[in-house]
Amino acid sequence: MTLVGVLGLQGDVREHVAAMAALGVATAVVRTPTDLAAVDALIIPGGESTTMSLIATREGLFPPLRTAVAEGMPMYGSCAGMIMLAREVLDGRPDQQTLGALDIAVRRNAFGRQVDSFEADLAMPCLGEEPLRAVFIRAPWVEQMGPQVEVLGRVTGGPAEGRIVAVSSGRVLATSFHPELTGDLRVHALFRDMID
């Protein structure tokens, strides 16, 4: 049976665990290289991306994470997780490390500070007709991307109209927003289907 890891260094780990559990998928929290070796796929949760990078560096997690990326482990990242999966982060810390699992450059805190955080309906055609209620919290957006990256969703309306906020490439998925906070399981189901 597939075991999905949730990177548990910091952030909304429990919500991702709960979302996968609701889909009947077994999960394990990953905090060490040993934990990582035991899982078949990885979710990187929302949180503070610079803190996550610092802690992952301190725990010696980047080398095994990069190996997992190279070996094609399916990965999904929301918000800070999207930043971790990116090739490049704009407006990050100078020493901030990322995994380069997706050929994208993301801008951190792109929508502004917390007072600019928002929720909005988002069309994601790959999830069906019904729009997704997307929660953006000091969220990043995708600013550049390589040719093999597929856009799954863009902001409609509001000041950030047209910004790319959901992408995938191969078996790697990333969203600027937090489906784990809304109870809508469609994004997690999409990831589950990418694993199989």
Q: Which residues bind another protein (CB under 8 A)?
A: 8-15, 31, 46-48, 50-51, 54-55, 58-59, 79-80, 91-93, 108-109, 113-121, 133, 135-138, 156-158, 178, 181-182
CB of 88 to another protein, least distance (A): 16
Least distance in angstroms from the C-beta of 35 to another protein: 12
DSSP string, 75-112: EEEETHHHHHHSSEEETS-TT------SSEEEETTTT-
Encoded amino acid at 158, one letter? G
CB of 119 to another protein, least distance (A): 6
Active site residue 126: no
Torsion of the alpha carbons at 182, 68, 84 and 181, rounded to the nearest 10: 10
15, 16, 79, 188: which one is catalytic? 79
Would residue 79 show up in a list of annotated catalytic residues for this protein? yes
User: Active-site residue 178, yes or no?
Assistant: yes
Q: Which two tokens stand for residue 12?
A: 């909304």
Instruction: Indicate the residue among 133 and 171 with the shorter CB distance to another protein.
Output: 133
Nearer to another protein, 17 or 149 (CB): 17
DSSP calls for 132-153: EEEEESS--EEEEE-TTPEEEE
Whether residue 57 contacts residue 97, with contact meaning beta carbons closer than 8 Å, is answered with: yes
- The residues carrying an active-site annotation are 79, 178, 180
